[in-house]
Structure 1
């Protein structure tokens, strides 16, 4: 992807409001640039008037101004010119601050809208996408790539356009004063710009690409060590992570140093150009103008050079910064290809109150999986003509050996995946592709319950605005999950702060907290995926009692390896090789299915051993 392509991509991703604000910003900055040009233009007549005794022989515009103001004295007209210069520069300064404030706010709003829309797409992405993309990569695209593409690109483009207008205005002033000197100087300056771009462009692009990759890897390393801190400590591999992190930082130091040096090259090269520029002007105007015009013309060129050359240097630096957007554009182009052309323009998650309060889907009769087929990769079926019925109010268990397809069934029940063929029926009707009402009818408890670094209250009512949390429902859910007594004994009750990943509470308490979270939202159906597999037998029995207490009040689906967890289920499906190999109660399956009976016997041996 080239520089032009990355800029075009950035603007194609912006919504209409952002593109409109970019145009308005350019227009407003052009007005402030015009005032600056006017201020510089006043330098020439003011200096020319200072040694003059009369207005005769002055520039036509000077004489017109004197006639309009009814001024006959050069000194008086020069004083008016100085006052006008101060006024113009003052107005320009105030307006520039106001324009920059307005432009910065509007462009930031556009940047954060695009970033929020990308985050919205990530929230709605299917589970397979989340499994393919690690946390560091997601954070990098949200925090860095969006900042570059929707912050740096429009801001720099606005600055470049306004600087181009300012430069053109100053060039016109120079040509008016001395065309020959202006053309020679501009040719020399253009050569410097082209040389800088040719030398810097490829190197800056390569350094930026490597910097972004190192930053992503270092962020991933920190997340990896944080999430696996227990293994890090037990295996005594802190030196490994520390050494790798230091190497990343050393490399970033080297990269940032090189990029800083490259960023400074335009400035100092243009300072050299400025010296040559003034030398050329001096030689040309002393040869082509009379001595009375030399001083004001030279003063105009010096003032203009002091303003023009830094402007050109800034434009060169801005173009170099635009090149740093190429890697980010390439990253986000992959996301737009995945999520669609309107990815950055439209939020996939509706944040309106109406969406949050949308009615849940009732489960009046039950749920059916009808001839379900599913695969992650073509030619490698995971589920093959799967049929299953979950009646309202029943407790249904799904068991089977590893790799049988149990986790995939969970993904289908939760709406994470859509079947390749077959249908999911709710009360005899095909499940609507818009899963919002269905999702509000499901409660889910997984093996490793996620515990946020927030209060008990906010963990139970996870995803709900703190102002909307109903404490009465919180306590009802805690009581149903048999964890209310534990919470009441905490120093701050519902306001007790839980650590990240719930490291301050036991595994059983985490599972009960997960059940309470699911029940707080009053689901029609509760799905438990290996919710007791990581617990000891005593804690498992306690959690099983909690689940049993919900029978008849909720439709319950239990995925389990431990058969003791599903022993009291109304219906058990034994899954093998992606299909239902047997179904019935625990006792009937034990009699009719040899493989299930073997699993029961193995489970009994393991329980006895424990």
Structure 2
């Protein structure tokens, strides 16, 4: 019963992941696979009359179908008719294998198309998840979901298609053998199936356990390698490379042991079933001969059984191998299914929120649009916002409210952990509060995420730069053929980086290195500011954007930001009081609330 439930669960998870188009393609492949199996049975079937003809050629001219063909073709020589029949058998095998090659090609195309589409789909599902998911989840686990889990699901499909082919072929050939000689066929099939079931039930639990361990170790290997590579500079300085190599090697050793066990258990069933079936077949042949005693009449059947055994015994052996592989990769399918399910549920919640807090589309257009450009008219309002992190005892933001007017520059100050960055993330739309709302000109920003993304820009504390050109890093995520270089230069000028870039030999095509290692801290921060300004947002959020810089570099970067005073609405999360000196308003985030403070009082209290 457990085995049946496991099969049902696997089928449910697969059909849930597959799109309608993929399901249609799958059903089509199933049909041509059945046809291929029928052709393989036909290949076995044509052997019997050919062997009978070889043993008694004279019967060819007088028996049913061959006699009719001889009369139509005016053939009176039994040897010529035998050659013709041999040519027919060869033609059947050629056509059969041409069709089977076609089936193999279609199956392979479907699997590769599915793997690509699923990989893209998995990345899409992760990108649709809330920001809090990325806060709580290791990047190695996410990469595993996009890469290794997809490989595991692909392996299930690969083994699944081959299982269907082997199973249907075995069933059709088995039915034909029962028709030829019921006693011998049933005996051989009974021995093979019982042996296979014993192996499957014996290995099932161990294989599923190995699959879970392998998936976890695969993630650990990626995590350990990433830590060693991303922390190379510190590791080199502290001379701790051996420690990282050792921890990686431990995980690799455990993975090696699992792979050995899985590969051995995958190969073992085929050998056992082959030995048992061949031995059983020989015993049954001997018994059959003793029962009949007529060797001449039994030889054609024996020849057919020999050809069938050549195909069916390996097929039955591979059935167990395919099922074992599916069991091993089942945790990968379960993880993929869980990820897709969670994201679809999250999307439903998002859609429900938009419906519950919907606004008239005409109001959105009138309020936010000026021609084709989204526009911020009056004020940004944070209204009674509450936010509490998962598993945290207390809320970070409690009934917090504030109003920021267009063109105003506002600073957030407060102790570490007070909720400054959390408030900034709520305003950015990264985290929807459990209670309360954020409005722009009276419209809830969470109901218009695309419009909001065009109005607001963001400069983080830790800048993420890709190992590409300055141009690609400023126009982050925009295809090359859609990048406007005039806008790039304008953003660089506002970030006070234009002169520096103009002096570089390759100018905008200069590569910044992975994570911007070829640039200084101040230059990286200016690239981040230029990135935020590229699409000319009307609101700019700077989350401790200069905290990692020394005083002199911070002063230079702040000059770039101060130039934007009055031109942009600025929200500055401060780590030093020097970064809020030119702000129009300052809010202290304390005990989950925002208290407006006078700058002179802040400076006085800090000596």
How does the TM-score come out when normalised to structure 1? 0.90
Deviation, 1:155, is: 3.1
Match of 2:21 among 8, 17, 36: 17
Q: Does 1:408 align with 2:411?
A: no
Cα separation, 1, equivalents of 2:60 and 2:102: 42
Distance 1:329 1:390, change over 3 A: same
Cα separation, 1, equivalents of 2:68 and 2:320: 39
Distance 1:125 1:341, change over 3 A: closer
Partner of 2:12: 8
Q: Does 1:263 align with 2:303?
A: no
After superposition, residues 2-151 of structure 1 pair within 5 angstroms as 2-55=6-59, 73-149=77-153, 151=154
Deviation, 1:338, is: 2.4
Give yes or no for contact 1:454–1:498 (8 Å, CA) kept in 2: yes
**CA deviation map 1:63-117 (0-9, x unaligned):** 5665676655443333222212221221222222222222222233233323322
Cα separation, 2, equivalents of 1:219 and 1:30: 41
Deviation, 1:292, is: 2.3
Cα separation, 1, equivalents of 2:222 and 2:89: 52
Unaligned stretches of 5+ residues in structure 1: 345-357, 591-595, 602-610
Cα separation, 1, equivalents of 2:345 and 2:279: 50
Partner of 1:166: 169
Distance 1:40 1:9, change over 3 A: same
Q: Does 1:528 align with 2:528?
A: no
Distance 1:343 1:405, change over 3 A: closer
After superposition, residues 540-579 of structure 1 pair within 5 angstroms as 540-579=554-593
**CA deviation map 1:105-163 (0-9, x unaligned):** 223323332332221121122221101111111111111212322x2233332222222
Cα separation, 1, equivalents of 2:62 and 2:223: 70
Cα separation, 2, equivalents of 1:45 and 1:301: 13
Give yes or no for contact 1:49–1:74 (8 Å, CA) kept in 2: no
After superposition, residues 193-232 of structure 1 pair within 5 angstroms as 193-232=196-235
Q: Does 1:509 align with 2:523?
A: yes
Cα separation, 1, equivalents of 2:346 and 2:461: 36
Q: Does 1:454 align with 2:468?
A: yes
Partner of 2:437: 423
Match of 2:376 among 357, 363, 378: 363
Partner of 1:248: 251
Cα separation, 1, equivalents of 2:118 and 2:274: 39
Question: Which of 273-282 and 244-253 deviates more?
Answer: 273-282
**CA deviation map 1:491-545 (0-9, x unaligned):** 3111112211111111000000000111111111111000111111111111111
Distance 1:325 1:548, change over 3 A: same
**CA deviation map 1:322-380 (0-9, x unaligned):** 10232123323432442226989xxxxxxxxxxxxx96642111211122222224761
RMSD after superposition: 2.4
**CA deviation map 1:30-82 (0-9, x unaligned):** 22222222122111111111131421898766556656766554433332222
Distance 1:48 1:571, change over 3 A: same
After superposition, residues 389-404 of structure 1 pair within 5 angstroms as 389-404=403-418
Partner of 1:434: 448
Question: Which of 25-34 and 423-432 deviates more?
Answer: 423-432
Structure 1 counterpart SS, 2:384: strand
Partner of 2:363: none
Structure 2 counterpart SS, 1:381: coil
Give yes or no for contact 2:387–2:435 (8 Å, CA) kept in 1: yes
Structure 1 counterpart SS, 2:451: helix
Cα separation, 1, equivalents of 2:63 and 2:200: 40
Question: Which of 156-165 and 58-67 deviates more?
Answer: 58-67
Cα separation, 1, equivalents of 2:337 and 2:215: 16
Give yes or no for contact 1:181–1:284 (8 Å, CA) kept in 2: no
Distance 1:439 1:289, change over 3 A: farther
Question: Which of 225-234 and 189-198 deviates more?
Answer: 225-234
Match of 1:291 among 292, 295, 299: 295
Deviation, 1:17, is: 1.5
**CA deviation map 1:192-211 (0-9, x unaligned):** 11122122222222222212
Cα separation, 2, equivalents of 1:532 and 1:93: 68
Q: Does 1:273 align with 2:276?
A: yes
Match of 1:192 among 186, 191, 195: 195
Cα separation, 1, equivalents of 2:145 and 2:182: 50
Cα separation, 1, equivalents of 2:337 and 2:394: 29
Cα separation, 1, equivalents of 2:521 and 2:236: 20
Cα separation, 1, equivalents of 2:315 and 2:372: 59
Partner of 2:317: 313
Q: Does 1:329 align with 2:333?
A: yes
After superposition, residues 383-394 of structure 1 pair within 5 angstroms as 383-394=397-408
Structure 1 counterpart SS, 2:147: helix
Give yes or no for contact 2:228–2:235 (8 Å, CA) kept in 1: yes
Cα separation, 1, equivalents of 2:330 and 2:489: 52
Cα separation, 2, equivalents of 1:425 and 1:340: 26
Partner of 2:359: none
Structure 2 counterpart SS, 1:324: helix
Give yes or no for contact 1:48–1:296 (8 Å, CA) kept in 2: yes
Cα separation, 2, equivalents of 1:564 and 1:387: 25
Question: Which of 371-380 and 138-147 deviates more?
Answer: 371-380
**CA deviation map 1:402-458 (0-9, x unaligned):** 122101111111101112222212113333523111012111101111110111110
Unaligned stretches of 5+ residues in structure 2: 349-370
Distance 1:423 1:248, change over 3 A: closer
Give yes or no for contact 2:131–2:430 (8 Å, CA) kept in 1: yes
Structure 1 counterpart SS, 2:239: coil
Deviation, 1:164, is: 2.0
Distance 1:43 1:383, change over 3 A: same
Cα separation, 2, equivalents of 1:321 and 1:458: 43
Match of 2:481 among 464, 467, 473: 467
